[in-house]
Structure 1
């Protein structure tokens, strides 16, 4: 049980994040050349590719001749603007993120103690891996479809529009613009989905800790007071630590979820607007790519809302788990201790995005409704 890898679901993704400049290296604080290269690696990688590419996309949108041409670029420009928020947030809090991951994986206070807990942990970690590896593969497939669908068009067209400072609609120069598009967009797509996965994993992991607390409370349903009293005190201490982790998690994921939810309604709106002005017969590849992009974006909004809802649900279930203990047989001091714990549980556990809304399934439904409202308004304005 002590050898159980508690963050097995994201161990590979943490390594991937280090190589893509999104996560801190373990030995980057040294004074040797290799440590210095590790410190400047994120800026060398993302400044000429991610940030320059996003700036060129916005330049193309702002210098477009009409609104329809701008709408062809805005759907992706807004997506990448949310990515900028995520990257800056992780860079700014890279020490906190590194310490948070270390505590989740190595702190002995969160060690699993029974076979039931270990089996639950392994099963849920595998389930998380299946969901997010499918999401990552699907997102990369959408990007690949966009890269190669332009080759079936009669005219020269870029997979994802951006401002090119030279005339690229020629056989000699087209592949320079296309190659930069592919390299920059691949890095942006990979960074986006990896950061999404880590934000959701933080909420998933804390929800799992609340489930472990529930299991330990329910395991006391037949325990005598002599055994239950010290175990209850240990559970209360664990719960206090998990509440602290929840507040830390909120600080780490709040900016990313807030930006994602705020921009997602506009992203889906402009994507649907693009589909309305793009015939399937004229541009079958780009039409299917945009349709898949809308599906991937919907999943991208749903996942943090789902895991935020799971965290709140399992934290709220602790009240019922207390009643499964053998509290009727306990002495007055132990029952008073349980009563104090019940008062403590009256404070709801919720992860908020800024000060605006709680991360959960209701905000997902509201975002989809807002996207439809913006789309209907955009159609009226365009007419």
Structure 2
């Protein structure tokens, strides 16, 4: 069903990024240059920032309650990630639009040539991107509804607890805990916060789902284009086992060189946009995994809270894995792209063409990798290291608690 919905969002001007661009525009990250809608979107982003401040204030007030503080810390950190992603995308929107324009323009020009190999590779990574987008949007949607319905689950999970809540012995369960200048444990204040937190959950889920899906699609683009570049390198000097003319071979070499230069240029721009965001995410991801692990193993945690924690933890790890896996794929493909030259029939060409092949080979040896700040790269090794670090923090805190 979700795939049918995604099919309606296809845009011929953006063969790869149609659905994700719709999501970015709907959640106010990809904005028009001017107009009332831009003002409204920015007011929503600013209101979310103020809500984040209230989460940190509440975290300070409840710091002595470990279980409540850990749960609130998870929401606070996740909201921080949402604000950072939305804020940086809006501020650096010009550079994002430059990358999007490059991707769509290049793909349209390649598809117009009707080359079988080109169309097959583009169709392959486009389909893959759609599947990842469908899976990820579904995962985030499930997480959002799990978080929103968690208080209802707590209320219905135990008749004894339900009686205590109705008698006023314990407060009504909350979606999350944020500071407000009025009583939020009952009456209007409680329902105001329920509505506020519900809207924030939908906002944050949309920000994360669309930002990440768009980034993964762009990483898939670079990986696919490097694969296409390797395929074109194999055909530099021959077509159907017949040598092409000198001028045709030189033109193909120039095209491969120019294509790789463009990929290097725009991958650096994308990395400059992602690196600060991913640095923040990688640092706090360890804390979030650790906090949820402690919450899951704390005595007195209800079944509903364990279900929430397990689902939340799975979504968190899946999000980190998506970035590390696809960045890793781009890196290894960029290391293998120069093999296409040596698999071509360069040995059948003259000395002049062989010199050009050497220059092209030097260009293609430049690798592409996405980083998380100046300290680490997004690879599978980084993903494993983060999980190990989180487990180490969890073990340390568990021993201190004992």
The TM-score normalised by the length of structure 1 is 0.90
Q: CA RMSD in A?
A: 2.2
Whether 2:211 is the aligned partner of 1:177: answer no
**Aligned with residue 371 of structure 1, among 349, 370, 390:** 390
* Aligned position for 2:226: 210
Evaluate the alpha carbon distance shift between residue 266 and residue 196 of structure 1 in structure 2; reply closer, same or farther with a 3 A threshold.
Answer: same
Matches within 5 A, 1:188-267: 188-220=204-236, 222-226=241-245, 227-267=248-288
Matches within 5 A, 1:17-96: 17-25=24-32, 28-29=33-34, 35=35, 37-48=36-47, 50-68=48-66, 69-96=68-95
Aligned-partner Cα distance in 1 for 2:392–2:83: 26
* Aligned position for 1:337: 356
Contact 1:350 1:358 in 2 (8 A): yes
**Aligned with residue 306 of structure 2, among 287, 299, 302:** 287
Aligned-partner Cα distance in 2 for 1:4–1:363: 35
Evaluate the alpha carbon distance shift between residue 320 and residue 5 of structure 1 in structure 2; reply closer, same or farther with a 3 A threshold.
Answer: farther
| Helix, strand or coil at the partner of 1:159 | coil
* Aligned position for 2:367: 348
Structure 1 residue 109: deviation in Å?
Answer: 8.7
Structure 2, unpaired ranges of 5+: 1-9, 156-161, 166-171
Structure 1 residue 174: deviation in Å?
Answer: 2.5
Per-residue CA deviations over 1:242-286 (Å, capped at 9, x if unaligned) read 111111111121122222111111111111111122646xx2223
Structure 1, unpaired ranges of 5+: 30-34
* Aligned position for 2:131: 130
Contact 2:11 2:18 in 1 (8 A): no
Structure 1 residue 343: deviation in Å?
Answer: 2.5
Structure 1 residue 216: deviation in Å?
Answer: 0.8
Per-residue CA deviations over 1:178-235 (Å, capped at 9, x if unaligned) read 1111011210121122111222222221222111111111234635152433212221
Whether 2:346 is the aligned partner of 1:327: answer yes
Aligned-partner Cα distance in 2 for 1:142–1:347: 39
Contact 2:15 2:107 in 1 (8 A): no
Aligned-partner Cα distance in 1 for 2:242–2:104: 30
Greater mean alpha carbon deviation, residues 239-248 or residues 271-280: 271-280
Evaluate the alpha carbon distance shift between residue 99 and residue 72 of structure 1 in structure 2; reply closer, same or farther with a 3 A threshold.
Answer: same
Structure 1 residue 101: deviation in Å?
Answer: 0.7
Structure 1 residue 105: deviation in Å?
Answer: 0.7
Contact 1:357 1:363 in 2 (8 A): yes
Whether 2:145 is the aligned partner of 1:144: answer yes
* Aligned position for 1:32: none
Aligned-partner Cα distance in 2 for 1:200–1:349: 15
Contact 1:61 1:70 in 2 (8 A): yes
Structure 1 residue 95: deviation in Å?
Answer: 0.9
* Aligned position for 1:309: 328
Structure 1 residue 173: deviation in Å?
Answer: 3.9
Structure 1 residue 38: deviation in Å?
Answer: 2.7
Count residues in correspondence: 370
Evaluate the alpha carbon distance shift between residue 13 and residue 318 of structure 1 in structure 2; reply closer, same or farther with a 3 A threshold.
Answer: closer
Contact 2:219 2:330 in 1 (8 A): yes
